[in-house]
């Protein structure tokens, strides 16, 4: 079995609808796509939105996949790139398809996964902060790594950091474009929580309606306190009449 047969594959169709009209396609559950590449003409495509969302979720931007365009005899080997997401539903609303030659190098952003927890962070004496979550590399499509993995257990004391230079990579096949000194993960001192400051409201800042209500409430309290004195005066008057 050759490599092309082992790659994940999905069916797509050519798309005539372009521009603002693609909104209608999305409402119908269709995802607009564009395929482009070196020395090939860009083609507008479409696919079932739910199926392609799942396909992208499984393979991401770093896996070589095949797409079978309806009407063509052979699949095209591609990388999925530049997904655009709906800000509310988080569903993909557009995606670019980069057709690649297995003999030409390509650039891609490779995700960085952090595993483990620093012993210092585990005790609460420090916190581990991930500064970089992906890094750009250049390699042949077949040499692109799925992801880089860094182990937080290597952070032994406050101030320790893991940089791009610490990534395990075959330098004969993969060139990392980022600065080697760029920090990926570091161990920092715990942040002190600032006490909550409760601001006192000056009398003049109290709404007029509230001031009126408070004045009326005080007036009622005075009336209630004056009632016993009035009752005593009435009793004395009655005694004199008797």
Structure tokens at 90: 């988080």
User: Which of 101, 122, 150 is at the close of a domain?
Assistant: 101
Residue 204, pLDDT score:
54
Residues 8 and 66 in one domain: yes
Structure tokens at 211: 């001031």
Structure tokens at 77: 């080997």
58-100 per-position pLDDT tens digit: 998 889 999 999 999 999 999 998 888 989 988 998 889 999 9
| 8 has pLDDT over 80 | yes
- Lookup result for tokens 């990388």: 79
Residue 20, pLDDT score:
80
CATH code: domain of residue 68: 2.40.240.10
Structure tokens at 127: 């916190």
Q: What distance in Å separates the CA atoms of residue 33 and residue 80, rounded to the nearest whole number?
A: 10
Residues 77 and 109 in one domain: no
Residues 71 and 129 in one domain: no
pLDDT over 90 percentage in the chain: 53
Asked whether 158 and 128 are in contact (CB, 8 A), the reply is no
Q: What secondary structure does DSSP assign to 185-221, as a single string? A: EEEEPPPPPPPPPPPPPPGGGS-HHHHHHHHHHHHHH
Residue 152, pLDDT score:
93
- Residue 224's φ and ψ, nearest 5 degrees, are -65, -40
Asked whether 4 and 66 are in contact (CB, 8 A), the reply is yes
Band (18; pLDDT cuts 50, 70, 90): confident
Residues 5 and 37 in one domain: yes
Q: What distance in Å separates the CA atoms of residue 137 and residue 147, rounded to the nearest whole number?
A: 11
pLDDT over 70 percentage in the chain: 77
Top-confidence residue, 127 or 17 = 127
Structural domain including 26 reads: 1-101
- Residue 19's φ and ψ, nearest 5 degrees, are 70, -145
Residues 111 and 142 in one domain: yes
Regarding beta strands 183-188 and 127-130, do their DSSP bridges make them parallel or antiparallel, or are they unpaired?
antiparallel
Does 230 fall in a domain? no
Band (242; pLDDT cuts 50, 70, 90): very low
Asked whether 164 and 136 are in contact (CB, 8 A), the reply is no
Taking Cα atoms as reference points, which of 68, 67, 98, 93 lies closest to residue 80? 98
Q: What distance in Å separates the CA atoms of residue 151 and residue 185, rounded to the nearest whole number?
A: 9
| 215 has pLDDT over 60 | no
User: Which of 59, 85, 101 is at the close of a domain?
Assistant: 101
203-211 long-range contacts (CB < 8 A, ≥24 apart) are none
Number of domains in the chain: 2
Residues 122 and 140 in one domain: yes
């Amino acid at each position: 079995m050759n490599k092309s047969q082992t790659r994940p594959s999905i069916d797509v169709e050519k798309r005539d609808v372009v521009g603002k009209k693609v909104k209608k396609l999305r409402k119908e559950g269709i995802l607009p796509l564009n395929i482009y590449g070196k020395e090939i003409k860009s083609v507008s495509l479409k696919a079932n939105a739910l199926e392609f969302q799942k396909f992208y979720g499984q393979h991401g931007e770093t896996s070589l996949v095949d797409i079978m365009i309806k009407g063509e005899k052979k699949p095209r080997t591609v990388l999925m790139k530049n997904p655009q997401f709906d800000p509310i539903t988080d569903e993909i609303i557009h995606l670019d398809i980069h057709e690649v030659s297995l003999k030409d190098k390509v650039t891609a952003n490779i995700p960085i996964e952090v595993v483990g927890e620093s012993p210092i962070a585990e005790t609460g004496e420090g916190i581990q902060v991930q500064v970089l979550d992906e890094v750009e590399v250049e390699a042949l499509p077949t040499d692109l790594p799925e992801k880089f993995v860094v182990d937080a257990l290597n952070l032994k004391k406050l101030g320790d950091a893991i940089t791009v230079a610490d990534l395990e990579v075959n330098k004969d096949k993969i060139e990392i474009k980022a600065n080697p000194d760029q920090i990926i993960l570091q161990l920092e001192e715990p942040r002190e929580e600032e006490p909550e400051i409760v601001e006192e409201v000056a009398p003049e800042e109290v709404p007029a309606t509230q001031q009126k209500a408070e004045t009326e409430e005080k007036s009622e309290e005075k009336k209630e306190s004056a009632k016993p004195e009035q009752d005593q005066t009435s009793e004395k008057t009655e005694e004199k009449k008797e």
